[in-house]
Structure 1
Amino acid sequence: MSFLTTDLCDANAELVRVAQPMFAIYGGRKRFCGEIATIKVHEDNVLVRDALSQPGKGKVLVVDGGGSLRCALMGDLIAALAVQNGWEGVVIYGCIRDSVAIGALDIGVRALNTHPLKSRKKGAGDTNLVVTFAGVDFVPGEFLYADEDGIIVSRQALKLTAAN
């Protein structure tokens, strides 16, 4: 079902937290929502690949990359894994690469920017913890909604209505 974050905010003002507007839209799916799963890494995308290699139906992966603009944490091959495994979307507080190819995939992707350099491959980082950026705490098990107007988070699933 379609939704608008503006309508969700209007109907659920006391339930939602709104991320600061700093993310660009990259994936082929402009609107997406799902249960939050989290990863915290620094210029290393092994855990991102590992997570998106797992089943993700109904989930959104939120990656705290520390806001680094020095390399990409996801490219087209990892994004294709996410599609194959049913993920709804990925929000990266960092960069992606292969943006044209990712734009052709049926997945929602938000990131700070693009960068042609791939990340390190050491496997360092943490999973399934509260991560904070863009003025919002992203808590595993809570819900994220993203569309052309922004990203919102709620402790509970929100009732979706048809978008205008």
Structure 2
Amino acid sequence: MCSLHPKSSDSWARIHAGGGNIDLSFIKPKMPLFGSTFSPKKTPPRKSASLSNLHNLDRSTREVELGLDYGTPTMNLAGQSLKFENGQWIAESGISGGVDRREAQRLRRRNQQLEEENNLLRLKVDILLDMLSETTAESHLMEKELDELKGVSQRRK
């Protein structure tokens, strides 16, 4: 026998089983399933973008209009001063302990030669491996033919 009894504002269920009462009120959800859904707060509007037109001007116009002369970017790395010119970092002259331009060009050329030699040697190794696999396959075929000929000659005897 099952009956519903009001308990404060909620309803709860009791089942009479063998003279004892079992409280099943914990099964009934406290929050409604489809009511009072989650609704986050509205986000505040963003601040307006900058009204400055400086970002539209090219570098030469900015220098003329505003007197901004930035110069070339420079940095000091490991005791060597470098400047950025024509898309490359170049060591400034007069720095002791650094590698000069001629030495750097010589090293680049040597590096290029070594890379080309390395590629040639890799190609030679690949060719030698191909030749080795070809001769190995041929020797296996010859051994197989030799074994077959030995078998034929033994049958004739």
Task: Name whichever structure is richer in strand by fraction.
Answer: 1
TM-score by length of structure 2 reads: 0.16
Bigger-Rg structure (1/2): 2
Task: Name whichever structure is richer in helix by fraction.
Answer: 2
Q: Which has the higher contact order (CA 8 A, sep 6+)?
A: 1
